[in-house]
Amino acid sequence: MAVTVMTAKEITNMALNKENLFILDVRNESDFNDWKIEGENFTYFNKPYFELLDGIAPIKDQLPVDKEVLVVCAKEGSSQMVAEFLDEAGISSSYLEGGMKSWSEFLHKTKVYEDQDISVFQFVRVGKGCLSYMVVSKGEALIVDPSRFIDEYEVAAQEEGAKITHIVDSHLHADHISGGNALAKKVGAAYYLMRSEGATFDFLPLEEHENIEFNNISVEVLAVKTPGHTPGSVSFFVNKKILFSGDTIFVSGLGRPDLGNKVREWAKDLYNTVYSKVAEIADDVIVLPAHYASLDEEINDTGYIGATLGCIRLRNEKIFNTTEQDFLEQVEKSASSVKPPNFEDIIAINKGIEVANSDRMQELEIGPNRCAVHHAD
């Protein structure tokens, strides 16, 4: 036997295919409990690497002998060491290339929708619960809520024979660093953001662009104050068929309204959004959010995270069919006291107030997504 290397892409495919995997996570217990690789049929065992410096004898009886063990650590080194110990003990093993850093940064691309006018692709950042998108029409591409890994979008556009000409952010993100401004500068695209978000760099304010049209793409900006991380959140309604809902509507609920410390006020805004703007949208419109809470729960049978608005209404009947008072009480009760890690620093970078190198951005983003949803249940 020999120790093998497993990539974040391979693990993502295993999760999507609901395959079995035994993971030995050798990070600290607190880090493991806070954030780990998730898969419906994944089995976990946590033991800090520093307790295994003399070998795996203390845990050998707790490891499977009939299947491979994937060892995971923060950056790779410790997991490689432990995997070699396993190999010496006769246990088939592998380790995650790049550790949890690589898991946090990997983007999984999948096609969501296609008709005679547009093709829509989703980029799933599996380790963070973040979603971004590309809409292609006649050689031009629109990027929605891009992550900081801007090369991924350039490559994806080239694969489709398209040039990135338009970029939009639904809001100023609090859990990850946007690639919108950097991508726009690199490829010479028009970049749109709400002026009310307070960004200090050049962009086209969505307040002055309620509709964005090019080729066979028509983007209607639903510019309403919606709760989430900032008061300037918007949704993008494309060709009356696709709703890029940002952090307003999720497959399993609605955006959390507590990050701005205005739970009651923003919950009222959310109620008005759901019962006015959203109420006018047809059931067959496909909703594509900017985040998700659980890959197992929210990925659909066709392999992407999203659902028709009708399905979301049925799944979350308690919040889509209730009185305003009950709605406010339910949202307030669900508001979490645990805010996204480093969200103030991340917002400052996304505003252009602070500058960070790649190491600093990586450090700020490490950890789970805590921006996702208010669950109906």
Rounded distance between C-alpha atoms, residue 79 and residue 16, angstroms = 24
The string over 197-223, giving b where at least 16 C-beta atoms fall within 10 Å of a residue's C-beta and e elsewhere, is: bebeeebbebeeeeebeebebbbbbbb
Residue in this structure with the two tokens 């550790």, named with its chain if needed: 99
CB atoms within 10 A of CB 89: 14
Residue 130 annotated to the active site:
no
Residue 33, φ and ψ in degrees, nearest 5: -65, -30
Token pair of 69, please?
A: 């063990």
**Which one of 73, 130, 311, 371 is the catalytic residue?**
73
Q: Taking a C-beta distance cutoff of 8 angstroms, is the pair 354, 198 a contact?
A: no
Rounded distance between C-alpha atoms, residue 15 and residue 9, angstroms = 10
What Rg value do the Cα atoms of the chain yield, rounded?
21
3-state helix, strand, coil in the chain (%, to 5): 35, 25, 40
Residue in this structure with the two tokens 């696709």, named with its chain if needed: 242
Task: Tell me which residues are annotated as active site.
Answer: 73
